Structure 1
Amino acid sequence: MDFNLTEEQAAFRDMVRRWVDNELPKSLSRELEAREKEYPFELWEKLREAGFFGIGIDEEYGGQGGDVMIQMILARELSRSLGGLLWVWGLTSFAGAKSIGLYGTDEQKAEFLPKIAAGDCRVSIGFTEPGGGTDVLGAMSTTAKKVDGGWVLNGEKMWSSASHVADYILLLARTDKDVEKRHQGLTLFFVPTKSEGMENHLLEKLGMRAVGSSRVVLNDVFVPDNLVLGEPGNAWYMLLPTLNNERIMVGAQCLGAIDGVLEDAVDYAKQRKAFGKPIGQFQAIQHYIADIATWQQQVELMLYHVSWLQSTGQECGVQANMLKMVASESAVKAADLGIQILGGMGYSAETDMQRYWRDHRILRITPISNEMVRNSIAESFGLPRSF
């Protein structure tokens, strides 16, 4: 059993790590995040110039190729500095490139993938509804009615990140109410954000502030037939494979955050002195750092294992859920201990510990709450559904 990265993967990791250190120092990430409601267009430009939007897109569409493992290596290395700002890259990579690449038509791939690979198209996601949260299917009230040449959408979406600056929203709506099961009759739309009848309202939130999340209101928004992704009514079946990818992405983001927390904690423990000695000499501080390093190792092993399962076409739904749960809880615990190690400075906006905590606390709730993840894991052993 070989746990080493391939030569290509290791070389890519080292290249991205050097690029992040040179182009995206943590001081820049703090500055961008401090602007809160101001979207970091300069970060988008840096990522575009580096060609990172082409990762995971076939070369025939102007991309650089790369499997799930390469994408997760990139996500991890970016998140070490960016934290939640990772989603400036991740949203378009997941909602745009992954979705169109998997179930778009040849025409849709030819139109959109080259633009996404070049960094000329931003994409948001519109799945969650007011009052719905994790219960996406039960709360689905956004509807799409078939009309001549397309569909008319009405409803609301919540927490659509970066939708205020996106070109398109990957949006889920109900197109058939007469179904036996609630996961039937759903359709995916690639909705232009400049569409008449669409409103965008930014929301106040704790972390990932500069990315921005919105309430999106749709009032008789027309979407042409050529912007329907996949077969109408069967969206949920198509989405299932991409949901695993989203959970793996969360794992990579959290691992990158733990990397950042650990390096900052160790550096501070070596330099900061109290009672006449470096605080890294105190047993309590050493225990905190040992815990963070252990969580890092655990999440890394889980991430690479699930990425390998996904890239080799094996079933990994349960493992992806386990990764998401363990990674999100470990990242929050690591950041909390990081704040404790830095003391007052850990609470200060001048350092990154508070940013790592704020950005990753949400991942215990989304894209699916860890309580629901635990339910799903238990059900995989044949236990009855608890809801």
Structure 2
Amino acid sequence: MDFSLTEEQEAFRQMVRRWVDAEAPKDLMRRLEADEENYPFPLWDKLKEQGFFGIGIDEDYGGQGGDVMTQMIFARELARTAGGLIWTWGVTSFAGAKSVGLYGTPEQKNRWLVPMAQGDLRVAISVTEPDGGTDVLGAMKTHAVKVDGGWKVNGAKMWTTGAKVADRLLLLARTDKDVVKRHQGLTLFFADAKSPGITATLLPKLGMRAMGSCSVTFDDVFIPDEDVLGTPGEAWYMMLPTLNNERIMVGAQCLGAIDGVLEDALTYMKQRKAFGDIIGRFQILQHYIADIATMQKTTELLLNYVATMQATSQTCGVEANMLKMVATENAVKAADLGIQIMGGMGYSAETDMQRYWRDHRILRMTPISNEMVRNSIAESLGLPRSY
């Protein structure tokens, strides 16, 4: 299978790289990420001005079009400098645009995809429950009751990134408790994030600090019928096809981070001197670089393989999980080696190596923990369910 980029894809990649180097350099990303109290609006505005929010959105709704490969190329190039701040673009483009594009009515697509493509509508994902983590279904306590003209929602969510600045929340809630299986009776809402009864509170965290992950409470929040995505009660079946995209997105982000790690480590090894010569002559550090480069290539090959499967409508749930597991573990290992190569400067907040580690450590646990990924892979090979 040939994973070479087409001429058009390569031209797009080079254009994005030039833009990233000029408009989203590492020193700017480092400063933005450090400001935990403020969302990275400067990056959002730059992405908006360039029209990048239109990637993957149909041209009929003001987007640029492009398949999952185009999105992955962009995600990788941006993550090389932005690291976890890539979700400034990714949450809206993947969670919002993908869900509305797949399940929205024509009227909903006009209402929401057009401003999304223009960079005028921000989305946050409100799925994880406070007591649940990966066990979304088992912990689902957020519920919605049908009322005249809509639904009343009560409950709480955790790790809703960007909720304080979001225009819309992609909200999963239980609408039917009388079900045979717990994945039944769930409904997906595209709720107005400024509705009365919604309260978002920042959660201090290790990495991706400026992204502003939040706990969100819903106290008798009214959501009109026109803000329901798809068929009520069938949200879990609707969400499954989008999960592969999220895992592929994570893979692209991690690959971009490995690109940044390798770039910084090589530059430092060629400049830093110790014991009379550049540290690039030290065999053990050369081995570290060889390991990082190998992680880069294996992640790239798996990403291209899975993205190609997705783009050609092949079933790839197991492979997408494998990609997520491999990419996240490689990114964290690569960044850790990068810190070791740079020593004290790798640990310093004045450089980006520590940011690559912090931003990607969370991805070993989310959107699904790598332990659960391994369970799923084992089950796909015919072993009994372990949870």
Task: Give the TM-score normalised by structure 1.
Answer: 1.00
Match of 2:279 in 1: 279
Aligned AA for 1:12?
F
Structure 1 equivalent of residue 189 of structure 2: 189
- For structure 1, which runs of at least 5 residues remain unmatched after alignment? none
1:357 equivalent in structure 2:
357
The residue identity in structure 2 corresponding to 1:43 is L
Could you give the per-residue CA deviations for residues 88-132 of structure 1, whole angstroms, max 9, x where no partner exists? 000001121010001111110011111000000000000000110
Structure 1 residue 3: Cα displacement: 2.2
Distance, in Å, in 2 between the alignment partners of 1:40 and 1:385 is 42
1:35 has 2:35 as partner: yes
**Residue 56 (structure 1) aligns with:** 56
Partner of 1:100: 100
Amino acid aligned to 1:305: Y
Q: Tell me the secondary structure at the aligned position of residue 386 of structure 1.
A: coil
1:322 matched to 2:332:
no
**Corresponding residue for 1:341?**
341
Give the Cα–Cα distance (whole angstroms) in 2 for the partners of residues 33 and 239 of structure 1.
30
Alignment of 1:295-334 (within 5 A): 295-334=295-334
* Residue 110, structure 1, aligned to residue 138, structure 2: no
2: CA distance between counterparts of 1:194 and 1:264?
A: 41
Q: Which amino acid aligns with 1:221?
A: V
Structure 2 distance, partners of 1:335, 1:275, is: 25
Counterparts of 1:36 and 1:175, CA distance in 2:
35
Structure 1 match to 2:207 = 207
1:215-269 alpha-carbon deviations (Å, 9 max, x no partner):
0000000000000000000000000010000000000000000000000000000
Partners of 2:62 and 2:157 lie apart in 1 by 32
C-alpha distance in 1, partners of 2:371/2:246? 17
In structure 2, how many angstroms separate the alpha carbons of the residues matched to 1:205 and 1:194?
24
1:4, 1:193 → 2: CA distance? 42
Letter aligned with residue 233 of structure 2: G
1:231 equivalent in alignment to 2:241: no
SS in 1 for 2:163: coil
Alpha-carbon distance between aligned partners in 2 of 1:133 and 1:124, rounded to the nearest angstrom: 17
Deviates more, 1:350-359 or 1:35-44: 35-44
RMSD between aligned residues: 0.5
1:294 paired residue number: 294
AA partner of residue 357 (structure 2): W
Partner of 1:180: 180
SS in structure 2 at match of 1:217: strand
Alignment of 1:238-277 (within 5 A): 238-277=238-277
Q: CA deviation at 1:2?
A: 1.8
SS across alignment from 2:156: strand
Other structure's SS at 1:159 match? coil
Task: Please give the alpha-carbon distance, in whole angstroms, between the structure 2 residues aligned to 1:184 and 1:273.
Answer: 62
What do residues 194-217 of structure 1 show as CA deviations (whole Å, max 9, x unaligned)? Answer: 101111110010000000100000
Deviations 1:352-371 (A, max 9, x none): 00000000000000000000
Question: Partners in 2 of 1:307 and 1:37 — Cα distance?
Answer: 35
Q: Deviations over 1:16-40 (max 9, x none)?
A: 0010011111000011012122111
Alpha-carbon distance in 1 for matches of 2:15, 2:264: 21
- The residue that corresponds to 2:69 in the other structure is 69
Unaligned stretches of 5+ residues in structure 2: none
1:122 aligns with 2:122: yes
Question: Structure 1 residue 171 and structure 2 residue 171: aligned?
Answer: yes
Which 4+ stretches in 1 moved above 6 angstroms?
A: none
CA distance in 1, matches of 2:265, 2:346: 10
State, as a whole percentage, how many aligned pairs show the same letter. 74
Give distance in 2, aligned partners of 1:250 and 1:357: 15
1:46 Cα offset (Å): 0.1
Q: Tell me the SS of whatever aligns to 1:210.
A: helix
> TM-score, normalising length from structure 2?
1.00
Separation in structure 1 between the aligned mates of residue 201 and residue 21 of structure 2, nearest angstrom: 35
Q: String of CA shifts for 1:59-100, please: whole Å, max 9, x gaps.
A: 010000000000010000000000000000000011210100
